Structure 1
Amino acid sequence: MSIVETPSPNFNERQLPVTMIVLHYTGMESAEAAISRLTDASAEVSAHYLIDEDGTVHRLVAEDKRAWHAGASHWRGITDVNSASVGIELVNPGHEFGYRDFTDAQIDALCPLLDDIKQRYGITRGNIVGHSDIAPTRKQDPGERFPWGTLARLRLAMPRPTKNLIDPLWSDAGFLLALERFGYEVTDKLAAVVAFQRRFRPELIDGEIDGECRSLLLALLLPKPQGDA
């Protein structure tokens, strides 16, 4: 894998072992603007890697350092997500500047990078997440156009369950307890449900807890979710 060294000064020391990978979109109008911001000391943001739309992979921060990409976030009891994760930015203008599909070249570059990081740190599929999963009240990225199914088929992300789905008929409170058990911060009910839908049912993001949401979540909590992977 060819990697362009594009160092950022925005990092410090990790306080936790690496157990997660967080995927982002840059949400800026161009790759140049994103790189400029992520390497600007006054911006105080960074990531370990950035993947341009042509598939070029930039390394901004060494993996043994704590990059500043997650912000205030939470996943499976971890609140210092920056210390516990590798952050990967994919160039995309995002919802603010004309959200579009990620390019084949980006995903072709992302998958081997993900696989390499996953294998080296022993990261589980359930800990390969989007920024919106760990910060549902603040973030939408990488968004509903991100091809999670492609990653799932390569065992690089959790699959969307498709087989033997059963509605457990949980109350809304029961659903939120299950969602918290899966990993989400559920203090803001609507934000948590929207984040779950954006990740596992992107065709309908309405914030409503329905039978399909309950069925998907129940299947995800099983030892081996049966889906497109």
Structure 2
Amino acid sequence: MDILLIAGLWLDGSAWDDVVPELTALGHRPVPLTLPGQGDGTASATLDDQLAAVLAAVDAAPGKPLVVGHSAASSLAWLAADARPKKVAKVAMIGGFPAADGRAYADHFAIEDGAMPFPGWGPFEGADSADLDQETRHRLASAAIPVPEGVARGVMRLTDERRFDVPIVVVCPEFTPAQAKEWIAAGESPDLARATHLEYVDLDSGHWPMATRPRELARVLAEAASS
């Protein structure tokens, strides 16, 4: 199966470099995406531009792909399911929940000169970054690409209720499945609360398992693709 890999904020397709060979060895075709404004040199990209790139990859897949969204890109993966509910086989969300219709995509940190730069490790101290050694922190921070304002402040537009029938796997790295269920029940993700097919997978890692647990993450994604 084609597995489309969408990294979260500040990351390009190279974030999946350690996951790709593992997925290939497990018999799948991983397709890491470098999004407009996050690695292609387009500073003025919008959320619509990023969604168009994801949909182009969905449409190019020979069958129905698994669409994987990491962190904030869980919202982008969900937008793809909304736009292609009959073409997306399943969505996997790693360490993130989709933003609700009408909400900003990822307006989480300060905008400077038209983009949202990586804010440093301060906001991520604790469970998010507990498994990152100094070398990995430096590598991730050095490669971080400021997210264009048109992406970060882009508005979620969800229009097709058939998206709720697309199966979802919530991969729980820095939090547990029990916590995820509690947050969803409390209303933190209205769309996940309405999903028809929702499962949870625990993954013992921080927020960036593609960097710290690539083999384990690949196994989780391969199992999601195969089930």
When Rg is computed on C-alpha atoms for both structures, the one with the higher figure is 1
TM-score tier (shorter): 0.3 to 0.5
Normalization by structure 2: what TM-score?
0.34
Normalising by the residue count of structure 1, what TM-score does the alignment of the two structures yield?
0.34
Compare relative contact order (CA 8 Å, sep 6+) and give the higher one, 1 or 2: 2
